[in-house]
Structure 1
Amino acid sequence: MTPASTQDLLNHAWFGLIGLMLLLYVVTDGFDLGVGILTLLRSREADRDLMIQSIGHVWDANETWLVALGGALFGAFPQAYAMILSDLYVPVMVLIASFIMRGAAIEFRHAAHTSKTAWDRVFGLGSLLAAVSQGIVLGKLLTGFVPGLANTGFVAITAVGVVSGYCLLGATWLVKKTTGSMESSSRRQAIIAVFTTVIAALIVSFGTLKQSPVGITRWQEHGVFHLLIALAVLAALAFVYVLYSVHMRGEHGPFFGATLLFMFSFAGLAISLFPYIVPGQLTVAEAASDSATLTFMLFGIGIVFPIMVGYNLYQYHLFRGKVVAIKH
């Protein structure tokens, strides 16, 4: 194997690993952000207590995937890291501020001696701001940071799509973790959210084809369009499965279906963008570190990655089952 092919292999491996870490973050932190957003729709403090209790043991660990993602991007693709962070300074700062709001709100609401409403609203608003910020980051990345009215509209749609998708994950998580009226209302919210998420995804897909610098070129490459069609069919089946499992009163099925919907959609997005890491501006090969750095990092992630996955799986197993309201 030539040194050039070794470099290419490492570049592609790290593109895939970063994509996997991003997917794990979106799914895990996505549902607790969704739960936070849905607290804004609840007027009863007891309902909000139950919702926050359902994510109380896992929400902070979910965000470690974003930290790992940032570190991996900085080490593996430093030019992309510099370009993305400089062009997305404002939404990234808002994202960090929203995480601070969420963390502070959860801690202070536990110490509140009277009404927790104010801190609950801070938690919900922080969750909403985090989702909107991530949607803006996605939209701007897909358009290659090119300004313009059409691209601004595209970014707005991606923000709505991310918020809707997180609400879908949050609602299906509550179906899985709660009982009674909370579970029933979460089922209704899941049905609404899955429709709005799919509609937003279709608009974003069409917009990527028209607005992204690499959309039409990549889709016309040999074999790519057929693979995207296969993923679209799988995503459609996941959409149907969410509706079916909600209708059949399934507890785990809705969240599983929503996760599959995200997985297939994310895979299609990654395939559409490759080999660009910043569409139209920076390819994976242009942004990558040298092979020695990528190899060293590969050994490091080989140790850390199983630990992170194992810890996540252990906490979900340990805190499995329905949550029960704590009586004060």
Structure 2
Amino acid sequence: MDYALIWYALIGLAVLIYVVLDGFDLGIGVLFPSAHSDNERDMMMNSVAPVWDGNETWLVLGGGGLFAVFPLAYAVVMPALYAPLIIMLLGLILRGVSFEYRFRTKRGKFLWDAAFFLGSLMATLTQGMMLGTLLQGITVEGRAYAGGWFDWLSPFSLFCAFGLLCAYTLLGACWLIMKLPDDLSGRYYAIAKRWGLMMIACIVIASAWLPLSNALVFERWFSFPNVILFLIIPLAAGLCVWQLFASLLKHKPLRAYLFAIALFVLSALGFGVSTFPYLVPFALTYTEVAAPDSSLKFLLVGAVILLPMIIAYSAYSYWVFRGKLKHGEGYH
């Protein structure tokens, strides 16, 4: 049994779940300044109050799992991403602090509103930059990072940062349509359409930019018979785009939210197709950076026990707090 491959899939799944779940509340933070009133901002935060900290469990699982299961990948990737990673963590800390403090002050509420927006923006943009850095590849020599301090800051990584900003904001808008009262949620249909169009444009441009700038990725996607096999991904993405906008036009927010998530899943599949079997693109494969099989088996036992528990309590919290908010209820 290929335990390293199993862990490759589990770490990828944890990161994908984090991006989907924390993406919508980061998107709400980005949309925060567009709220028309302080009451609307209260309700935006109340819509994620029961779940936002649980969403970040998956970030801990992804990062901690990478350290434990693929230690060499952790040692190589972290030096390449120290700066954006630190900025992301500072942004998440700023979000968490502002989330608690803004409900406990009146005169300084505007400061914590700004902090919530700034923290969300910092976390979103740096996650996009890290994604772009991984997609364009990391310079490795002798199983160690050999690039510069600012290799993460490139035109492609900046473009990916903007693309992820569009994607998270789309998720946030779809979430607010589902959760806010009808008198507040209506205008978010137009916001979701606008950010959705920008996200789709970014996906199309990135899908052309990456293979044209990387011969390995180009060969992976366009060599025969891969070009036929992988054609299902853009076709499925086109179907999801159609259903996303059809759902927004017909005012079916849950369907729109689910098809937006489906676009994230298909984008993750595209990332996997472009980089597999490399865990440090395009230098070290998952087998080269994995811990010994004995460690992988031991950790897998814990994952088999804990993952269903995490999924169960996360699903239960979403089920308990389902439905639209009412004016005057929520976190105080």
Q: Structure 1: which 5+ residue stretches go unaligned?
A: 1-5
Deviation at 1:118, TM superposition (A): 1.4
Task: Please name the residue that 2:84 is paired with.
Answer: 91
Task: Please name the residue that 2:261 is paired with.
Answer: 259
Provide the rounded CA distance (Å) in 1 between the counterparts of 2:214 and 2:89.
Answer: 27
Task: Please name the residue that 1:210 is paired with.
Answer: 212
**Contact residue 213 and residue 279 of structure 1 kept, 8 A:** no
2:16 paired with 1:14: no
Task: Please name the residue that 1:313 is paired with.
Answer: 315
SS in 2 for 1:320: coil
Deviations 1:156-191 (A, max 9, x none): 110001111000110011111113342111111110
Residue 245 of structure 1 aligns with an amino acid whose one-letter code is S
Alignment of 1:135-150 (within 5 A): 135-145=128-138
Residue 4 of structure 2 aligns with an amino acid whose one-letter code is N
* CA pair 225-78 structure 1, distance change in 2 beyond 3 A: farther
Task: Please name the residue that 1:296 is paired with.
Answer: 298
SS in 1 for 2:279: strand
**Contact residue 26 and residue 120 of structure 2 kept, 8 A:** yes
Provide the rounded CA distance (Å) in 2 between the counterparts of 1:116 and 1:325.
Answer: 19
**Contact residue 142 and residue 212 of structure 1 kept, 8 A:** no
Alignment of 1:66-105 (within 5 A): 66-105=59-98
Residue 107 of structure 1 aligns with an amino acid whose one-letter code is E
Deviation at 1:201, TM superposition (A): 1.0
**Contact residue 18 and residue 56 of structure 2 kept, 8 A:** yes
Task: Please name the residue that 2:30 is paired with.
Answer: 37
Deviation at 1:216, TM superposition (A): 1.8
SS in 2 for 1:324: coil
TM-score by length of 1: 0.93
Residue 68 of structure 2 aligns with an amino acid whose one-letter code is G
Which of 190, 194, 203 is equivalent to 1:201? 203
Task: Please name the residue that 1:117 is paired with.
Answer: 110
Residue 211 of structure 1 aligns with an amino acid whose one-letter code is S
- Same amino acid, percent of matched pairs: 35
Task: Please name the residue that 1:3 is paired with.
Answer: none
Residue 322 of structure 2 aligns with an amino acid whose one-letter code is R
SS in 2 for 1:55: coil
Provide the rounded CA distance (Å) in 1 between the counterparts of 2:83 and 2:192.
Answer: 31
Task: Please name the residue that 2:125 is paired with.
Answer: 132
Deviations 1:22-76 (A, max 9, x none): 1100100000100111002224211111111111111000001000001111111
- Over aligned residue pairs, what C-alpha RMSD do you find? 1.9
* CA pair 309-107 structure 1, distance change in 2 beyond 3 A: same
After superposing the two structures, state which structure 1 stretch, 113-122 or 188-197, moved more.
113-122
Task: Please name the residue that 1:55 is paired with.
Answer: 48
* CA pair 73-276 structure 1, distance change in 2 beyond 3 A: same
Deviation at 1:212, TM superposition (A): 4.0
After superposing the two structures, state which structure 1 stretch, 120-129 or 146-155, moved more.
146-155
Number of residues paired by the alignment?
321
Deviation at 1:311, TM superposition (A): 0.9
After superposing the two structures, state which structure 1 stretch, 318-327 or 164-173, moved more.
318-327
After superposing the two structures, state which structure 1 stretch, 26-35 or 288-297, moved more.
288-297
**Contact residue 143 and residue 151 of structure 1 kept, 8 A:** no
**Contact residue 138 and residue 283 of structure 2 kept, 8 A:** no
Residue 132 of structure 2 aligns with an amino acid whose one-letter code is G
Deviations 1:226-254 (A, max 9, x none): 33310111111111111011111113111
Deviations 1:92-136 (A, max 9, x none): 000110011000001110111335221111001100110001001
Task: Please name the residue that 1:278 is paired with.
Answer: 280
SS in 2 for 1:56: coil
TM-score by length of 2: 0.92
* CA pair 287-224 structure 1, distance change in 2 beyond 3 A: farther
Residue 270 of structure 2 aligns with an amino acid whose one-letter code is G
Task: Please name the residue that 2:194 is paired with.
Answer: 192
Q: Structure 2: which 5+ residue stretches go unaligned?
A: 140-147
* CA pair 92-172 structure 1, distance change in 2 beyond 3 A: same
